[in-house]
Amino acid sequence: MKGKKVYGGIAIGTALLVKEQSIEELIEKKTINKENVEQEIERFKTAHKKTIEDIEKIKDRAMSTVGSSEAQIFEAHLDMANDPMFIDSVINKISSDLLNAEYAVLEARNEIVETFMSIQDEYLKARANDIIDVTDTLIKNLIGVENQNIADVSKDTIIVANDLKPSQTIQLNNYVKGIILEEGSVTSHAAIVAKAKGIPTLVGVENALETIKNDAVVIMDCDNVDIIINPSEEQLKHYSELEKKQNEEKARLSLYKDKKCLTKDGHEIKIFGNVGSIEEAKLVKENGGFGIGLLRTELIYMNSNHFPTEEEQFKYYSEIVKLIPNEVIIRTLDIGGDKMLPYYKFPEEMNPFLGLRAIRFCLQNKEIFKTQLRAILRASAFGKVKIMLPMISNLDEILESKKLIQEAKNELKQENIAFDENIEVGIMIEIPAAAISSDILAKEVDFFSIGTNDLIQYSCAVDRMNKNVSYLYEPYHPSILRLIKMTIESAKKNHIEVGICGETAGDPDYAMILAGMGADELSMSASMIPIVKDRIAQYTVEELLKISKLVMQQTDSKSAYQALIGGKKC
């Protein structure tokens, strides 16, 4: 079986199929006798009470693991379950239409879902899935089918699913050794959390739920993108030895948790984490990240039913800043492209990735931008916060943004609200135009952070999500190496810090080149932090510089990579 690697390594365990059985398959429509109406309503009420308790439990778990802001979704589930119109509709179907309770719930929910789907409102359409989620639990409670509880696994397990919902990723404990998903995206919520947790994971594994049986022994060799079901004794022995070595290596790397990232000759490089949630921020701390180099704020906008208020954002940002007060670089809203909001209609565009996104959207919607800036400034009272502007392509965008930041500061001052007056403002260098004019832009900002994910996409003109052209997505392309070098040099000449927060920073091979070019900071997924620290510690600054020069001399990606591998050995 084949798929795409999200996080490498070997995993051995017993398969647990997380399968959503359709409710329609589980229940049938029945007519009840009039004298049984009261009893049926009681059954409904008991199941309803248990459903509320179930949601409360998940909410509490979310509160303790990922924080209050992200537990909000379960608050919405509670509201739906307690909606009097929904409850009345079910009771009415039992008492007037003489339907059995489970079918009454199914009909009531179908009516609500139908109404929501018929309204031209993306938010209501998206909420239909939440209603299905809640009523599925309610019906399962009525018929006594347990919701699968991943949190209870107590032996080495490989989770096999189509995809995992946020309420399920929260439940992943240390017995979950590997994850196999049928869904294809390496940037899905489940994939991001699995990578941050360092769980060997493959996605895009077609028909996994049909091919793998519950309780089968499964070996995942994620580096070679291979899955073995019911292995032979010999295979099991071979892979168990590899897994043992991997665990010893993990234990060795865990010693870096409380250590700075130093080259062999003692030069420090800041190692930060990329996060999109409080859950991931906690993982950065656990893995020994010094700070957060990229807080992707779009996720709180995407998980909400409205533009988050200043208060909601302030609460979320300050929760993260209090967790990691050393340094948190908060990126302002990077929306548009493929990141849509269910409650906002973006204009139809021929090329959304080249359209109204990120800073362009914010500067055309100043009130939304200002709300976020005020919330970020207020969070800066609790630790070192920096503001980072995404998708900058020219000087005007910086100047206009700085004007708005100043306005927000003036307002807060007048309102006697605390914030860091000297907050640093930096930009992402992720558009070739910005990299090429980085010497000009450096004069107006306090730091750069190179976003190689988009820099490669825009330089090579290759959609970063498109599998048909993924062979052209080349981090080692001479143009990319030159743009990065050029940006680092501009930063150095202007005495500002420069970091990298694209995926390349968390690749230990590529990190060597970046460090050799003089990057001050590398920001990556939490699980990569000790691995990159370990790699940098093997080389002196001089050696890293030599390797990066060697790589820069090559004429194509392949030879650049080979030069790196050769340089590593010397």
The answer to whether residues 219 and 231 touch, using CB atoms and an 8 Å cutoff, is yes
Which residues partner with 201 through β-bridges?
A: 7, 179
The only residue of 221, 327, 454, 507 in contact with Mg ion, by rule CB under 5 A: 454
276 binds Mg ion (CB under 5 A): no
Nearest residue (CB) to Mg ion, 221 versus 454: 454
Pick from Mg ion, ligand PEP, none: which does 502 bind, CB < 5 to 8 A by kind? Answer: ligand PEP
Binding characters for ligand PEP, 179-198, by CB under 6 A (x = yes): --------------------
Nearest residue (CB) to ligand PEP, 211 versus 453: 453
Binding characters for ligand PEP, 375-414, by CB under 6 A (x = yes): ----------------------------------------
Residues with Cβ < 8 Å from 165, sequence gap 6 or more? Answer: 133
Nearest residue (CB) to ligand PEP, 138 versus 501: 501
Shortest separation between residue 453's beta carbon and Mg ion, angstroms: 5
Nearest residue (CB) to Mg ion, 189 versus 464: 464
> Nearest-CB residue to Mg ion?
454
Pick from Mg ion, ligand PEP, none: which does 296 bind, CB < 5 to 8 A by kind? Answer: ligand PEP
Shortest separation between residue 198's beta carbon and ligand PEP, angstroms: 20
Q: Chain-centre distance of CA 255, in angstroms?
A: 26
Shortest separation between residue 340's beta carbon and Mg ion, angstroms: 16
Shortest separation between residue 515's beta carbon and ligand PEP, angstroms: 18
Is 460 catalytic? The answer is: no
Q: Could you say which DSSP state residue 97 is in?
A: S
451 binds Mg ion (CB under 5 A): yes
Q: Compute and round to an integer the Cα radius of gyration of the chain.
A: 26
Question: Among residues 261, 362, 460, 501, which one is catalytic?
Answer: 501
User: Edge to edge, what strands does the sheet with 176-181 contain?
Assistant: 4-7, 201-203, 176-181, 157-161, 10-18, 217-221, 226-229
Shortest separation between residue 328's beta carbon and ligand PEP, angstroms: 15
Nearest residue (CB) to Mg ion, 102 versus 430: 430
Is 189 catalytic? The answer is: yes
Shortest separation between residue 332's beta carbon and Mg ion, angstroms: 12
Nearest residue (CB) to ligand PEP, 164 versus 294: 294
The answer to whether residues 2 and 167 touch, using CB atoms and an 8 Å cutoff, is no
CB atoms within 10 A of CB 554: 17
Rounded distance between C-alpha atoms, residue 348 and residue 345, angstroms: 9
Pick from ligand PEP, Mg ion, none: which does 490 bind, CB < 5 to 8 A by kind? Answer: none
Q: Chain-centre distance of CA 37, in angstroms?
A: 47
Nearest residue (CB) to Mg ion, 331 versus 533: 331
Q: Tell me the residue type at 276.
A: G
502 binds ligand PEP (CB under 6 A): yes
Tokens of 405: 């930041």
The only residue of 451, 475, 506, 567 in contact with ligand PEP, by rule CB under 6 A: 451
Nearest residue (CB) to ligand PEP, 112 versus 501: 501
Number of alpha carbons in the 13 Å side-chain half-sphere of residue 184: 4
CB atoms within 10 A of CB 85: 8
Site for Mg ion in 387-446 (CB under 5 A): 430
201-203 and 447-450: which strand pairing? unpaired
Pick from Mg ion, ligand PEP, none: which does 501 bind, CB < 5 to 8 A by kind? Answer: ligand PEP
Pick from Mg ion, ligand PEP, none: which does 452 bind, CB < 5 to 8 A by kind? Answer: ligand PEP
Shortest separation between residue 512's beta carbon and ligand PEP, angstroms: 19
Residues with Cβ < 8 Å from 128, sequence gap 6 or more? Answer: 112, 113, 116, 117
Shortest separation between residue 260's beta carbon and Mg ion, angstroms: 27
Nearest residue (CB) to Mg ion, 279 versus 430: 430
Binding characters for ligand PEP, 2-21, by CB under 6 A (x = yes): --------------------
CA distances 260 to 274, 396, 496, Å, are 17, 38, 21
The values of phi and psi at residue 344, to 5°, are: -140, 135
Shortest separation between residue 272's beta carbon and Mg ion, angstroms: 16
201-203 and 4-7: which strand pairing? antiparallel
The only residue of 430, 507, 520, 543 in contact with ligand PEP, by rule CB under 6 A: 430
Question: DSSP states of 286-306 as a string?
Answer: HTT-SEEEEEETHHHHHTSSS
332 binds ligand PEP (CB under 6 A): no
CA distances 530 to 249, 272, 289, Å, are 11, 11, 8
452 binds ligand PEP (CB under 6 A): yes
By CB under 6 A, the count of residues binding ligand PEP is 10
CB atoms within 10 A of CB 492: 15
Site for ligand PEP in 61-100 (CB under 6 A): none
List alpha helices for 67-100, DSSP H: 72-81, 84-95
Shortest separation between residue 380's beta carbon and Mg ion, angstroms: 23
Closest-CA residue to 293 (of 308, 279, 276) = 276
Polymer length in residues for the chain: 570
CA angle 15, 220, 557 (to 5 degrees): 145
Dihedral sign for Cα atoms in the order 388, 191, 183, 109: negative
Nearest residue (CB) to ligand PEP, 58 versus 362: 362
Dihedral sign for Cα atoms in the order 176, 179, 185, 186: positive
The only residue of 109, 195, 296, 374 in contact with ligand PEP, by rule CB under 6 A: 296
Pick from Mg ion, ligand PEP, none: which does 280 bind, CB < 5 to 8 A by kind? Answer: none
* Element holding 43 (H helix, E strand): helix 37-66
Pick from ligand PEP, Mg ion, none: which does 319 bind, CB < 5 to 8 A by kind? Answer: none
Closest-CA residue to 252 (of 539, 534, 540) = 534
CA angle 188, 72, 288 (to 5 degrees): 60
Question: Among residues 189, 222, 362, 460, which one is catalytic?
Answer: 189
Q: What is the dihedral of CA 235, 240, 246, 249, to 10 degrees?
A: -140
Question: Which residues are tagged catalytic?
Answer: 189, 501
Which residues make up the interface to ligand PEP (CB under 6 A)? 294, 296, 334, 430, 451-454, 501-502
Which residues make up the interface to Mg ion (CB under 5 A)? 430, 451, 454
